[in-house]
Amino acid sequence: MPANNITPHHSGVSADARRKITGSVPAVFWMSGLSGSGKSTVAVQFERRMTEEGCAAFMIDGDTVRTGLCEGLGFSPEDRHENLRRIAHLAKTMASAGLTVVVCTISPDKQSRDTARKIISEAADFYEVYVKASVDVCAARDPKGLYKRAFAGEIANFTGVSAPYEIPENADIVLDTADHTAEECAEQLVRAALNGIYRPAELVRSMLDAAMLASAKIMEIYDGKYDVSFKEDASPLTTADTASNEVLTTYFREKYPAYSILTEEESSAADLHGMPERLSNNAGVFIIDPLDGTKEFIHRNGEFCVSIGFASHNRVYAGVIAVPAKRLLYYAAEGHGSYKISFDEISENVFDEANRIRVSDRTGTTGEESDKLIITASRSHGDKQTEALLDLNAGRIADTITAGSCLKGCLIAEGAADIHYRFGSFMKEWDTAAMQIICEEAGGIYTDGAGNKVPANRADPVNHGGFIILNRPESALELPAPEKTK
């Protein structure tokens, strides 16, 4: 059929819609290296780990493809080029479906690798991965017995022995399988893939920008008159709460249409089955408290915050807390640390080591005054259990700082305080999501009241049983005996 009679028909499903299902973005990791370098071994581990992370991934193995799509092609330069061209189009199609694809093929020459990049880059992120291992290392492994036969002259055009291999000069990723295990190399690829999916620097910068926009709106209202009403649970709601919520939800819906939103001031959107849409969205969800510390806002003590968490696959991945009255920003992203800056210090390099914060090393276990613990307690929500806890552990405690909203966790993250215990079930995950990742990335520990990890984006957002923040495991306090019921 003449080419001018062919009309490609493109999919009507958007990349954002696919991402909500696959949890991945279109990406291809094109692995190149000698036979025996470990490409397939690493790829199997990578594919498994990405699936564990909740991201759809698929491996295309060069030998396997030659049993079907590329059956009949030999190993001449021309056949090898055609083999890789077909694999590139296969990878492009699979990536277009919203998958993270890893290709294992020798790809011995720069021309073929460049052709693959050109084909795939039209539809997906392309990463050239050099799986580094010398001929001697690969020949010593010789898992298929091919090198022995190649050195004996039984196999013609064998790459590295009787056919050339052009080492990638500017590979996007280098995996040194001679010095690192397959698991270590797979984890290196996983980190690169997750960074490509979530783009943490860009994500955090956007969250910072949104937090400052909301802060400006809050301070505009804070300095004037505003209305106060009360919700069904008797908690206050001000004009600032709703105005900040409007700023944040509008910003994130426009900039990140693939992500859902869980916010204190709105009911969650429902899917076709009437369930919260956010629960089935594998791309991610922003967890927002547009004005954390409404009582502090009303009391005009400045201890109120804008709290924005981002979660994916039931764990918090990034968080930003803005303190509008103090013009401070606390933020973190998984694997990148926690930071503190002023509104005036924000820059493109959000992960500047100079702004990094860490928890203290106090534990209250040495008996020395300098090692005694500094406790944070709620300014607006005191309770008898907390009082009993402090009395029981008085000998380990140097001071108790009362603070409003999620500032308590921020103080622990920057080392100004050490631990916080919150009893009861009135806190929701929009109160704590950003604080959780900021404390954890600063080196702290965040658990529920029983010491268990806390999943994010739950069907029930209530933090049942309270939560605990520790700077160190050794800092945990002795809990008072529960009161006997009468």
Active-site positions read 107
Determine the Cα–Cα distance for residues 333 and 441; give it in Å rounded to an integer: 7
Determine the Cα–Cα distance for residues 98 and 120; give it in Å rounded to an integer: 13
Determine the Cα–Cα distance for residues 485 and 401; give it in Å rounded to an integer: 31
Radius of gyration of the chain, Cα coordinates, nearest whole angstrom: 27
| Region of 81 on the Ramachandran plot (φ > 0 left; ψ -120 to 50 alpha; else beta) | alpha
Name the DSSP class of 69. T
Please report the DSSP string for 309-376 in residue order.
Answer: EEEETTEEEEEEEEEGGGTEEEEEETTTEEEEEEGGG--S-TT-GGGEE------S-S--GGG-EEEE
Instruction: Name the residue among 346, 347, 315, 341 with its Cα closest to residue 328.
Output: 341
Instruction: Name the residue among 372, 333, 368 with its Cα closest to residue 350.
Output: 333
> With b meaning 16 or more CB within 10 Å and e meaning fewer, what string describes 53-63?
bebbbbbbbbe
Joined tokens for residue 77: 């330069």
Query: To the nearest 5 percent, what fractions of the chain are helix, strand and coil?
Result: 40, 20, 40
What sections of 376-428 are H helices per DSSP? Answer: 384-392, 407-413
Within 364-484, strands assigned E span 373-378, 397-403, 419-422, 445-448, 467-470
Q: How many residues does the chain have?
A: 486
Name the DSSP class of 23. S
Helix (H) or strand (E) holding 126, with range, is strand 125-132
Distant-in-sequence, close-in-space partners of 133: CB < 8 Å, separation ≥ 6: 33, 34, 36, 37, 38, 176, 177, 178
Instruction: Name the residue among 109, 22, 107, 23 with its Cα closest to residue 60.
Output: 107
